[in-house]
Every structure is written in C-alpha cells, then in structure tokens.
C-alpha cells in the first residue's frame, strides 16, 4: 500500500492551493437578490485556465484527462485554498455531475459541441434531477418528456439545482415512460435560453452560499430529438454514472476545507490565552484537536480508497457510499469542534462557523446519508437469505 501521491500530482495540488488562496478569495456576502454574476464568471474563467472545471474531461476536448484519484486530490487542494467552499462545490458539481455524463454517455457530436467550452471555463453546466416531491425517489419523477413529431416536449419543475442561475447548459432528467422503472427515465441536454425553460430566483441557503442554486421550470419546452444524452431510457444510468463520480471526487473539497479549519484552529488555541496560558495546553483542548485530526484522517482514507477503486473501474457502490457518509459526518463534527474551541468567537463570522454551515448540506446532497446506508446494505445483501448449498 503506497499512500504517496506521485510528485507531479503533489506539485499540481500545491499550485492549485496557492492559486485558490490568491485568486478565488473567501466567502462572498451572498444575498441571492444581489448575486454578482460577473464576479462569479470572472472566478470561473480563472479556474478554467487552471484546468479545474475540466479536470477529468479528455485532453482531446480541452480537459486534463485526470483519473478519479488524481481528481480527488485536486479537489482537496482546491478546498484547502478556496475559503469559499460554495464556489469550489459549484466547480465540482459542474465537473462530476454534468461534464462526466457527457464524457461517458454523449455522442461524438455532443462531445464536440459542448466539452471544449465546459472544460475551458467558457461555459457552466447544471444537472437537474431533484423535484419538489422526488429527491431520493428518482424513479418517480413527475417531469415528463413526450415525443411530438421531430421534437421532444418537456414539462415539469426541478428543485434545488446547483448552478442553475449561472448555467449555460442543463442536463435534465425526465420520465419518457412513466412507471417504466429504471428504463423509464431519459436525460436531455438543454441549453439555457431554450424557449420554455425558466430558471427561478436563487435560493437563500444555510450553507454553500457561494454556490448559486435555483428551481428550473419547464413549460412546453421543445427540443430536437438528438438532444437526448445516452439514448432513450438511459436516464437512470446517466444519473448513476454522475453519482459515481460525485460521491467520490466532489467530497475531496470537504477534505481540504476541514484541513484548512483544523490548521487555523491549532493556530488559534496556541494564541488564545486563559488563566495565563495558551488554551492549547489544556488537556481537554489538546484531546479535542487530536480527535479532529483523527476524524479527518479516517474520512480521507475512506475517500481515497473509493477514488482508487473508481480509477480502476470497480463498481464502488460500497466504498463510495461509505466515503460519502464518512466525509460529510466528519465535516459536521469538525465544524462543531472548531466552533466550540473558539467559544463566542466561533459563532461570529469566521472559518469555523462557515465550515459548519457548509457541512450541513453534505449529509443531504448526492443522496442523503440514510439513502447511502440503504444502498450499501443492499449491495452487501444484508437481510437476504443465502441460497442453500446443494
């Protein structure tokens, strides 16, 4: 077992952390009604020049062609340097939930049309699947796509779509055969500005506030037949493929954010004095710091194992699910610990309370942690009787 990243990967990650710290800035004052689209685009283009928004796309289409393990390390470096975790989250969601489905399921024409712009930072993508009454229950989507002559007609509402207010391209999941189960869904590529597609007002969220999120309304949205991604009935496969990447690589952002906050917490307890001594010398404080580091290391090992398996083409249902649960729960715990160690300063604006707020959604998106455990138990065949031996 070799836990060392290749020297070239270490160098790349150090450069990304330095770039993010220098050019991407900290959390923005995020009033959804005053969202600064121009500044978001400016930072997005900078990230594109660094190869971040197309990291795992093929080099033939302007990407870097990184495997899952290297991409996870890259996201960790981004999270360590970018204090605006919401912005880093938007990059990861764009890359793993939207770009990778086009890489894995798109036709040659679709890849030629979209991947270059999506990889360079010129374009932003969003994957719209969640609905007001269908989050984890994706096989019961109410958004419909009906074939009408030489067009598809889409109707429905998508909820909580990451990047929707800034997206140039949407990957939209709809039911083409209601009640058809796994093969009843189809994914479509729909450019922003298509008649019948309307993006709602940005949501005001408790965390990840630097990542713009909104609902998407589809009203008799007519699109050409060849805007299908992966073929009719392949929507669930497209979604499962995107989740395979997202549940693994995206959570590298949280590893970096946790490390950044642990480092600042160690610095804080070394400078903050009570009773004439730095509070870091108090045994209870020292023990809490050790627990924070142990929690991060444990979660990191699980995530890197999942990324290693994904890089080698393994199924990864168990490893990615375990890693998603471990990292999201670790981020909440470390956020709470960082707030507690700062006392009253922990509940004022700062990196500790920001991490805690940003960590809360991590237990929900990409499939709630409860759903992850259901999937893992199913993959382990828990509760299923073994077939009797003959």
My answer on whether 256 and 277 are in the same domain is yes
Question: Which CATH number covers residue 153?
Answer: 2.40.110.10
- Provide φ and ψ at 231, rounded to 5°: 100, 155
Distances in whole angstroms, Cα of residue 310 to Cα of each of 80, 93, 139, 155:
23, 17, 25, 35
Position 135 scores a pLDDT of 77
Residue 327 in domain: yes
CA–CA separation, 11 vs 130, rounded Å?
38
My answer on whether 49 and 169 are in the same domain is no
Position 347 scores a pLDDT of 93
My answer on whether 82 and 157 are in the same domain is no
Residue 30 in domain: yes
My answer on whether 180 and 120 are in the same domain is no
- 68, 71, 72, 78 alpha-carbon torsion, rounded to 10°: -170
- Provide φ and ψ at 384, rounded to 5°: -95, 130
Question: Which CATH number covers residue 58?
Answer: 1.10.540.10
Choosing from 82, 98, 124, the residue where a domain stops is: 124
> Taking Cα atoms as reference points, which of 161, 150, 154 lies closest to residue 126?
161
Residue 172 in domain: yes
Q: What residues make up the domain containing 118?
A: 7-124
Interstrand relation of 169-175 and 125-128 (parallel, antiparallel or unpaired): parallel
My answer on whether 324 and 342 are in the same domain is yes
- Tell me the β-bridge partners of 145: 154
> Taking Cα atoms as reference points, which of 75, 104, 76 lies closest to residue 92?
75
Residue 240 in domain: no
Choosing from 74, 109, 124, the residue where a domain stops is: 124
My answer on whether 266 and 375 are in the same domain is yes
My answer on whether 286 and 363 are in the same domain is yes
Position 29 scores a pLDDT of 58
In the chain, alpha helices (H) = 7-19, 37-49, 68-81, 85-93, 100-105, 108-120, 235-245, 252-271, 283-311, 317-342, 351-359, 369-379
My answer on whether 99 and 35 are in the same domain is yes
Select which of 76, 246, 309, 353 is catalytic: 246
CA–CA separation, 97 vs 100, rounded Å?
6
> Taking Cα atoms as reference points, which of 226, 40, 221, 35 lies closest to residue 128?
221
My answer on whether 263 and 343 are in the same domain is yes
My answer on whether 117 and 147 are in the same domain is no
Question: Which CATH number covers residue 353?
Answer: 1.20.140.10
What are the average pLDDT values for consecutive 10-residue runs of the chain, which has 390 residues? 90 98 77 83 96 97 97 98 96 98 98 98 97 84 95 97 97 93 94 98 93 97 97 95 94 98 98 96 97 98 96 92 97 98 93 96 94 93 74
- Is residue 329 annotated as part of the catalytic site, yes or no? no
Choosing from 124, 140, 159, the residue where a domain stops is: 124
The single residue listed with the structure tokens 């998407």 is: 216
Residue 244 in domain: no
Contact assessment for residue 176 and residue 119, using Cβ atoms and an 8 Å cutoff: no
Number of domains in the chain: 3
Q: What is the pTM of this model?
A: 0.95
Contact assessment for residue 102 and residue 115, using Cβ atoms and an 8 Å cutoff: yes
CA–CA separation, 174 vs 160, rounded Å?
16
Residue 243 in domain: no
CA–CA separation, 75 vs 78, rounded Å?
5
- 63, 69, 75, 80 alpha-carbon torsion, rounded to 10°: -140
My answer on whether 28 and 99 are in the same domain is yes
Residue 72 in domain: yes
Residue 390 in domain: no
My answer on whether 48 and 102 are in the same domain is yes
């Amino acid at each position: 077992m070799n836990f060392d990243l290749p020297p070239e990967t270490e160098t790349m990650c150090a450069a990304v952390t330095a770039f993010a710290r220098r050019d991407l800035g900290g959390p923005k004052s995020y009033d959804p009604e005053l969202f600064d689209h121009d500044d978001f685009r400016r930072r997005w283009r900078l990230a594109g020049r660094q190869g971040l928004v197309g990291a795992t796309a093929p080099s033939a289409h302007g990407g870097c062609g990184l495997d899952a393990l290297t991409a996870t390390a890259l996201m960790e470096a981004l999270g360590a340097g970018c204090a605006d975790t919401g912005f880093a989250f938007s990059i990861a969601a764009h890359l793993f939930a939207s770009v990778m489905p086009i890489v894995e399921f798109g036709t040659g024409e679709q890849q030629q049309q979209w991947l270059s712009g999506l990889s360079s930072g010129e374009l932003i993508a969003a994957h719209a699947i969640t609905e007001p009454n269908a989050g984890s229950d994706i096989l019961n989507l109410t958004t419909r796509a009906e074939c009408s002559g030489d067009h598809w007609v889409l109707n429905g509402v998508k909820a909580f779509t990451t990047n929707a207010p800034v997206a140039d391209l949407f990957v939209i999941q709809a039911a083409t055969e209601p009640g058809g189960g796994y093969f009843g869904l189809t994914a479509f590529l729909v450019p922003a500005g298509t008649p019948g597609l309307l993006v709602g007002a940005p949501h005001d969220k408790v965390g990840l506030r630097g990542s713009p999120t909104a609902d998407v309304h589809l009203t008799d949205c007519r699109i050409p037949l060849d805007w299908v991604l992966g073929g009719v009935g392949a929507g669930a496969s497209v979604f499962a493929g995107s989740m395979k990447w997202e549940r693994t690589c995206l959570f590298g952002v949280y590893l970096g954010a946790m490390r950044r906050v642990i480092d600042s917490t160690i610095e804080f307890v070394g400078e903050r004095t009570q009773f004439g001594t730095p509070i870091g010398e108090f045994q209870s404080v020292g023990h809490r710091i050790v627990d924070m580091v142990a929690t991060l290391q444990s979660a990191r090992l699980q995530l890197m194992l999942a990324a290693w398996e994904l890089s080698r083409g393994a199924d990864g249902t168990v490893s990615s699910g375990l890693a998603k649960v471990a990292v999201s729960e670790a981020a909440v715990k470390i956020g709470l610990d960082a707030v507690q160690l700062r006392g009253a300063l922990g509940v004022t604006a700062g990196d500790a309370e920001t991490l805690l707020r940003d960590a809360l959604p991590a237990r929900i998106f990409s499939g709630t942690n409860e759903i992850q455990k259901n999937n893992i138990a199913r993959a382990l065949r828990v509760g299923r009787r073994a077939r009797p031996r003959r």
